[in-house]
Structure 1
Amino acid sequence: MNTTSGSTLQFLGAAGTVTGSRYLVEDGRHRVLVDCGLFQGYKQLRERNWAPFPVDPASIDAVVLTHAHLDHSGYLPALVKQGFRGRIHCTHGSVALCGLLLPDSGRLLEEEARYAARKGYSKHKEPLPLYTEEDARKSLKYLHGHDQGEEIEVMPGIRVRFHPAGHIIGAAHLSLDVHGLRLHFSGDLGRQNESLMNPPSPLPACDVLVCESTYGNRAHVPIDQEAELAPIVRRVAARGGVMVIPAFAVGRAQALLLHLARLRERGEIPRVPVYLNSPMAIDATHIYHRHHDEHHVSDEDCRRMFELATFVNSVEESKALNRQHGPMIIISASGMATGGRVLHHIEAFGPDDRNAIVLAGYQAGGTRGAALAGGASTLRMFGREVPIRAEVIQLEGFSGHADANELLDWMRTAPTAPRVVYVTHGELDAADALRARIQRELGWSAHAPEHLERVTLEGGHGA
């Protein structure tokens, strides 16, 4: 095999945690970064966003993205701010979504810094954002879009091919050929039978597989999404309550609109007002309509999704919602209640037991969403403890991630076994559980790397 001497893979993130995906590939001459995500959740993880990047960003030659979610793309503006000037390669769908997600992230970071300064709850005298909206917009000019299935040379001797991953618009699992050695990165894999997105394509032959393990220690409950959602809407509406749904603006918000529209069309839920209070989710919904080849939602269902909700754009309209009474449904970002307008809705409606907070996706450890799912009676927001008396419900059927069984089934589609699987992008228990199942059920070598671990690409783990 003609692998350049000294080729390595280093796990700069998503090792022992479900956030901060960053994988550095070096061949002795070039550095290619696969994903460039934000750390989220626990404070010690979030602080990694502020630490010096492990290598000089200016020394990185290219970045390749699996998809646009912030735990995979959200550090890009900071990387560019610190000197990165190479190309960022991703699919056309990811270019479109990054154009929404990254400026919005910068705007929220600025708002949080200003609010902390105004309320005086930051330990810093003048709290600053990690990056600004302007920084994010500057980083967008380095994005280069490609078709699914397209193979490109990102550096001499290093080629990448994008394969459809489901999950969200533009998501890809990546083949990275490094001088003849084949690496493969799963990114975030979608589900085989998902109501919105097409299923992921099979796993090609590879020497080294880097696989996510978000749900590596569990299987999704086999439940019909609309059958799960309908009785909750009926119950909360009957008591005049407000349903606040923290939802990822890309993927979960669109799925919720789809199922609520279908339920209303069939008369299975009352015709209560539905508000989509996320300008980014509104724009992302338009992008979903432009990428029909990646999902299986009909034109008629797309029309119903648009007609169902009142789109809330301005801050004034958002604040006005908090003065209204139920019954009504508010869908707002962020999906793990880490920031955004949904926090103000939780602050307004969380203390009332007629209301409900409905969690519609994965809640990473250390997030407010995880605290709610764990039964927290108060939630710290805006420098104070907010009482939570609203009913808290974790939906089981709305995940856009493959579960452990689906991940293993996807691996079984490979024509040959890889030499080693690196299990990443999962909490410690999830990653280790999947590692053990890969070894036991597939007979493959598997390893859950530690943060900043570097491995040689010529053989197994442990450089």
Structure 2
Amino acid sequence: MTLALTFLGAAGTVTGSKFLLDDRHSRVLVDCGLYQGERRWRRMNWEPLVAGPKSITDVVLTHAHLDHCGYLPALVRQGFAGPVWATAGTAALTEIVLRDSAHLQEEEAMFAQREGYSRHDPPQPLYTVADTERAIRLLRSCDFGQSTTLLSGAELSLTRAGHVLGSASALVTHGDTQVLFSGDLGRPQHPLLRGRSAPPVARTVVIESTYGDRTHPEEQDHEVLAGAIRRTIGRGGSIVIPAFAVDRTELVLLAIARLQIAGSIPEVPVYVDSPMALAALEVYRRPELAAELRSEALRDLATLRGVREARSADESKRLNNPGRPCIIISASGMASGGRVVHHLASLLPHPNNTVVLTGYQAAGTRGRALQEGVRQVKIHGQYVRVRAEVVVDSTFSVHADSAELVAWLAAMPQPPETVYLVHGEPESSAALAEQIRASLDTTVAVPRLGERVVLT
């Protein structure tokens, strides 16, 4: 029986991960993510995913970042009603991420209608809170290393990917055909999580290539962050850190705690201003998930002083003009939405302040624009001057770099027959393809969006 793989997302770009395995009787979707970044990609979120979404038997999630799970309520809205398989950590975080996404989309639609800056009348969210609750009810958890029989009849096994809490690489076995989806791979030494597992045997591998054209710096002391904090506090300003609510906020807090322990920065109030980040922190603290975390990281986090939680909208609004030096950690990490956008609108025009970017900034996002040195940025339909200092601390990344991606493939018990590179900008995927060809005896391809390949 012919098994085919179709690349429905994250081909030619970093976001929107969606990969369909199908034969004549079943269809399994691995990851169900939103496109982010440039408008041409975001518009893809509004296109129907596939003909007959009701015929998809299963969805498998590798982890809970929005670009891997955020399209799920839209798929449910189109009629999907099957099980959604994930680890316990991913399932718990996905609930938080999806509820936040639905709330933000409904809020953005209402704001656009009130301010009149949308070309649609009336503006509509991609999905609603009600769609999200239906999607959450479909989540089914399975343990790392456990073999799970999917509704399609295929077998699923998840191994630790070491990227965020619950993140996994997914091995789908269909008859005698094995397909391994890397998901987002972490670095061998994640500051907070236990390291990733060695990959299993598979004939076909679909691997991310986000950092396929670069290697991470060796230093891990966050001196860029420390220097930015010292300078900003010294001139009476505040530091805004756009941070992904899942994992990145925890890593930023850990870095600040360790800088305080080392005496590298002064003690000032640290505000976590993201309901989703605060909810994610509670998931990271769950005793049943502690086996995924490094004990020394938990110990250092416990020493952090001056942390304040901004839970309500009024508490968040007060941080637009904090009145005294402080550190504000707020989502989203690419400044593409959420509370951090309001803080940027208020604080970017003032040279005493600093924005610290801590992760990958996709093309087309405000974060990428700030990283590239723009002097003005559009927020809620208006242009805002950028007078604040903008710095990039590249040591926060928990994406494997090019050498670490090749090493993960090389650790397989035997080389795969074919490797497909996804989840990367074209230059990054092309560079990684050359490195894999030079290192391993395997066929390497960079698929096009919508391309379909036969596996058996």
TM-score (norm 2): 0.97
Quote the residue 1:126 is aligned against: 122
Quote the residue 2:91 is aligned against: 95
Quote the residue 1:165 is aligned against: 161
Show the 5 A alignment for 1:284-323.
284-290=280-286, 291-298=289-296, 299-305=298-304, 307-323=305-321
Quote the residue 1:392 is aligned against: 390
CA distance 1:58–1:410, shift in 2 (3 Å): same
Q: Report deviation, 1:155.
A: 3.2
Question: Structure 2: 5+ residue runs without aligned partners?
Answer: none
CA distance 1:295–1:228, shift in 2 (3 Å): farther
One-letter identity of the residue aligned with 1:304: T
Matched residue SS, 1:276: strand
Instruction: Indicate if the aligned counterparts of 1:289 and 1:302 stay in contact, CA closer than 8 A.
Output: no
1:139-168 CA distance string (max 9 Å, x none): 100000111111101035411100000111
**Candidates 35, 51, 71, aligned match of 1:55:** 51
Distance in 1 (CA, whole Å) between partners of 2:194 and 2:361 is 23
CA distance 1:323–1:414, shift in 2 (3 Å): same
1:220-264 CA distance string (max 9 Å, x none): 111123333222211111111110000000111001111111222
Distance in 2 (CA, whole Å) between partners of 1:453 and 1:156 is 22
**Candidates 168, 173, 178, aligned match of 1:177:** 173
Matched residue SS, 1:267: coil
Quote the residue 2:18 is aligned against: 22
Matched residue SS, 2:258: helix
One-letter identity of the residue aligned with 1:186: S
Instruction: Indicate if the aligned counterparts of 1:223 and 1:396 stay in contact, CA closer than 8 A.
Output: no
Matched residue SS, 2:96: helix
Quote the residue 2:265 is aligned against: 269
Quote the residue 1:220 is aligned against: 216
Answering whether residue 40 of structure 2 is matched by residue 75 of structure 1, we say no
Alpha-carbon RMSD: 1.1
Matched residue SS, 2:225: helix
Quote the residue 1:332 is aligned against: 330
Q: Report deviation, 1:14.
A: 0.5
Quote the residue 1:461 is aligned against: none
The number of residue pairs the alignment matches comes to: 453
Distance in 2 (CA, whole Å) between partners of 1:444 and 1:326 is 57
Quote the residue 1:401 is aligned against: 399
Instruction: Indicate if the aligned counterparts of 1:27 and 1:178 stay in contact, CA closer than 8 A.
Output: no
Instruction: Indicate if the aligned counterparts of 1:67 and 1:94 stay in contact, CA closer than 8 A.
Output: yes
Instruction: Indicate if the aligned counterparts of 1:338 and 1:368 stay in contact, CA closer than 8 A.
Output: yes
Distance in 2 (CA, whole Å) between partners of 1:236 and 1:82 is 48
Distance in 2 (CA, whole Å) between partners of 1:337 and 1:201 is 32
Quote the residue 1:383 is aligned against: 381
Single out whichever of 85-94 and 284-293 deviates more from structure 2. Answer: 284-293
One-letter identity of the residue aligned with 1:202: A
Distance in 2 (CA, whole Å) between partners of 1:146 and 1:351 is 48
Answering whether residue 188 of structure 2 is matched by residue 192 of structure 1, we say yes
Instruction: Indicate if the aligned counterparts of 1:205 and 1:414 stay in contact, CA closer than 8 A.
Output: yes
Answering whether residue 432 of structure 2 is matched by residue 434 of structure 1, we say yes
Regions of 4+ moved over 4 Å = none
Matched residue SS, 2:433: helix
Distance in 1 (CA, whole Å) between partners of 2:377 and 2:441 is 44
Instruction: Indicate if the aligned counterparts of 2:225 and 2:356 stay in contact, CA closer than 8 A.
Output: no
1:46-97 CA distance string (max 9 Å, x none): 0000012223211101101101101000000011111001000000001100
Distance in 2 (CA, whole Å) between partners of 1:212 and 1:441 is 17
Distance in 2 (CA, whole Å) between partners of 1:390 and 1:424 is 35
Identity among equivalent positions (%) equals 45
Q: Report deviation, 1:297.
A: 4.1
Question: Structure 1: 5+ residue runs without aligned partners?
Answer: 459-463
CA distance 1:369–1:156, shift in 2 (3 Å): closer
Matched residue SS, 2:395: coil
Matched residue SS, 1:225: coil
**Candidates 401, 406, 411, aligned match of 1:413:** 411
**Candidates 367, 370, 373, aligned match of 1:372:** 370
Instruction: Indicate if the aligned counterparts of 2:267 and 2:306 stay in contact, CA closer than 8 A.
Output: no
Distance in 1 (CA, whole Å) between partners of 2:147 and 2:24 is 22
1:384-431 CA distance string (max 9 Å, x none): 111111111111100010001110111110111111000000001111
Distance in 1 (CA, whole Å) between partners of 2:76 and 2:44 is 17
Distance in 2 (CA, whole Å) between partners of 1:408 and 1:100 is 33
Distance in 1 (CA, whole Å) between partners of 2:90 and 2:33 is 14
Answering whether residue 154 of structure 2 is matched by residue 138 of structure 1, we say no
Matched residue SS, 2:302: helix
One-letter identity of the residue aligned with 1:437: Q
